[in-house]
Amino acid sequence: MSAETGLDDGLDRGPAAFREQRWTDAFQTLREADQSGGLPAADLERLATAEILTGSAAAGFASLTRAHEEYLVVGDLAGAARCAGWMAIHLMHFGEGERAGGWLARGQRLVAEIPRPDAVEGFLMIPMSLARLHQGDPGGALELLARAAGIGQAFQDRDLMALALLGTGQAAVGQGRVEEGLQIFDEVMVAVTAGEVSAIPSGIAYCAVIASCQLAFDLGRALEWTAALDRWCAGQPDMAAFSGQCQAHRAELFRWHGAWDEALAAATTADARTAGNDPEVLFGANYQRGEVQRLRGQLDAAGLSFSSAANSGFEPQPGLALLVLQRGDIQQAQSMIRRAAGTADAAIRRHLLPALVEIELAVPDVAAARQGADELGRFAAGSATPMVRAVAAQADGAVRLAEADPLGACAALRRAWRLWFDLGVPYEAARCRVLIGQACLGLGDETSADMELAAAHEALAVLGAAPAAAWAASLMPRGRGKVAGPLTPREEQVLRLVASGQGNRAIAVGLFLSEKTVARHVSNIFLKLGLTSRAAATRYAFEHGLAG
């Protein structure tokens, strides 16, 4: 077969594979054809898309640059401007704002030279509107997006219409019109799931919508669209560009639903599927890993994960401030969360408010905590989303406890618990029960308090939430000088021997148990008491009269 025949074959098979979304085949075939004799601009643009989708972002940017130049050579200004617009969007995603601005300026200059109206004029308004959103100007972004949507409608450009609508939803959420924004996202996803939108705009829409739903505390929508993204990625198994983000989103949903091992596994898979060091994947995987580690009491590991998340360019809040709080540096935690919440846009600020309330109560600055809880309450009043109402009611109940209003606290916390329970969020539901137990103690109802605390402690121990389990244990009857406690008689016996300095083998011999059984008892003791070492267990035994 001659080189010319091979080139013609590649030029036929490459676009066919592209249309069928066989990205690896498209990439390989088009690259071979390019190496055999070069590609026309449209096929270079297809090659760039296939390279980006299969995880070769740098190669994709090089091919897209060549496509831009080739369009200029043949006098196709619209094609050249479109390539410039995509370069701007991709570079903005990877945090290269200056290069993105240069490409955007080039695209705008080319559009000004096009003799007749073209859809590319509206397409270039998309990165312009994104820049305005990032600069805190949602009103300016909306003006551009409305113009882009009109141009998309005039030219029946499905990609442009979807991207303009997506940006409109993001701007609405940023302005506090959350319900309106969420409804717009649903409309975008109708077009995406119907297959009306091409691959890269579809992936952008999936990930942006899920991230916005999570920021808006809409766990139901986030779960629905993450499942849809998972199916979309599964149908294109050689696509790397968005599968890593899918796994990072899955990790967050697993964490909320108490499947912490699965959350860690999803974060690891996201790491493995990171396409071109995608900053959103690097952040999401490491942040979710850090959150699970923090909740389990693995504070050093959590610190390392949050540091890795910060390397993406995104700030690991509120997890980092809560980690600092757990380490006992309350003033630093307060400074961090106040600074983060004070400089965030409205959507991100709401996401930080629950942690702000928790940290202000730890200081304690009850007045500042009340302000945060009231702000959440105002947000919840205009929202039909159960998670928003749960977060707001829990914050209100916690603050009422600090305000010496245990009856009001109990009512608010009961509402929050019911919502968390219905949402299937066991960690927050258990934390609510600990707070309810405290409220019951404040009302003199020790019997109800003990039931709430015991149930909460069991749930937290099963999750592996060692610090929160220790908090619940400290409020249980033994912590108030009574006889009962979180440990079984056998576990207390093992704890005494641990405190005496004996290892598992010696304990097994002395108690006529297998070493494996002793190891299980020690693990249960650590979990129930929120401990992470034998030294901590020894200290606990002496402090609670269980040594000797």
Q: What is the per-residue pLDDT across 200-224, written as a single tens digit (0 to 9) for each?
A: 999 999 999 998 898 888 988 999 9
Is residue 275 over pLDDT 80? no
Is residue 547 over pLDDT 70? no
DSSP secondary-structure letter at 479? G
Average pLDDT in the chain: 90
Q: What is the per-residue pLDDT across 301-352, written as a single tens digit (0 to 9) for each?
A: 999 999 999 999 999 999 999 999 988 899 999 999 999 999 998 888 999 9
Is residue 264 over pLDDT 90? yes
Torsion region of 512: left, alpha or beta (phi above 0 gives left; psi -120 to 50 gives alpha): left
- Confidence bin at 3 (pLDDT 50/70/90): very low
DSSP secondary-structure letter at 513? -
Contact indicator for 39, 33 with CB cutoff of 8 Å: yes
Query: Is the link from the previous residue into 486 a cis peptide, with omega within 30 of 0?
Result: no
Contact indicator for 145, 108 with CB cutoff of 8 Å: no
How far apart (Å, rounded) are the C-alpha atoms in residues 256 and 429? Answer: 11
Positive or negative torsion for Cα 358, 364, 370, 371: negative
Contact indicator for 280, 245 with CB cutoff of 8 Å: yes
Q: What is the per-residue pLDDT across 63-107, written as a single tens digit (0 to 9) for each?
A: 999 999 999 999 999 999 999 999 999 999 888 889 999 999 999
Phi, psi values for residue 279, rounded to 5°: -65, -35
- Average pLDDT, stretch 359-384? 94
pLDDT for res 6: 46
